Structure 1
């Protein structure tokens, strides 16, 4: 009978699913208020990844966050350009999170100096409707 013994090579770890339970963030007020788990945790992670500028927060690696601010907002891009690239930037920002299976049915509406983004995220916990203002 063969016995499987896991070998841990220095610097190499087995890929593991991220735990879902985390602190509940009130992103609008900048406060921590309890805990969230499962679909609520994924919805919060999606929102946070979209609004966090990539490459500007040293606490995160280069895969975390979104480039929407640099490519669209900071450069005062035209609405046509913004509409054509926002979906791709959102999908790119969410790609590292294995709990998110697919994003679809994007809707973008512009109001004065911001854009309202709505889409559906299929997650391992079910479908989530995401609404964010950028």
Structure 2
């Protein structure tokens, strides 16, 4: 017998809540040489990969070293606003702005618990920034980045 309804009848599936927990396993990434600023290759066409804590450290350095909004391939949350930080009036204001933008850049990753213990070393054309990253699933580690003054 044919159903003679004027309007279609649709079964509505039950709503399932999404799991709010973030995937704690850090996915493998391509290895990156922080000193050379280039991929680590075993041969011309074979890049090595990094995993876990090492991949997270690389992400931290790249997030701090990438100017926010400068790469269309990255989400707007990725990167730091170092150009604005370096435009401050005096060295103390620059240091505070650098601290703020590094913390903002790294706290977008749910694996970052906090960023602390900033140390600055000034030279005429560069600023060396050393800081400690406290990760949720790993031990704390120190990172150092070099920022060019304009």
TM interval, short-chain normalised: 0.7 to 0.9
Please state if 1:125 is matched with 2:130.
no
Higher relative contact order (CA 8 A, sep 6+): 1
Distance of 2:15 and 2:26 partners within structure 1: 22
Distance 1:47 1:56, change over 3 A: same
Distance of 1:113 and 1:30 partners within structure 2: 19
* 2:92 paired residue among 80, 103, 106: 80
Please state if 1:108 is matched with 2:105.
no
Distance of 1:127 and 1:28 partners within structure 2: 21
Q: What is the total number of aligned residue pairs between the two structures?
A: 125
* 1:16 paired residue among 2, 13, 22: 22
TM-score, scaled to structure 1: 0.80
TM superposition shift of 1:13: 8.5
Q: Is the 8 A contact 1:20 1:42 kept in 2?
A: no
Report which of the two structures shows the higher radius of gyration computed on alpha carbons.
2
Please state whether the residue corresponding to 2:57 is helix, strand or coil: helix
Distance 1:41 1:77, change over 3 A: farther
1:94 aligned partner: 106
* Cα RMSD after superposing both structures: 2.4
Structure 2 unaligned spans of 5+: 1-13, 41-47
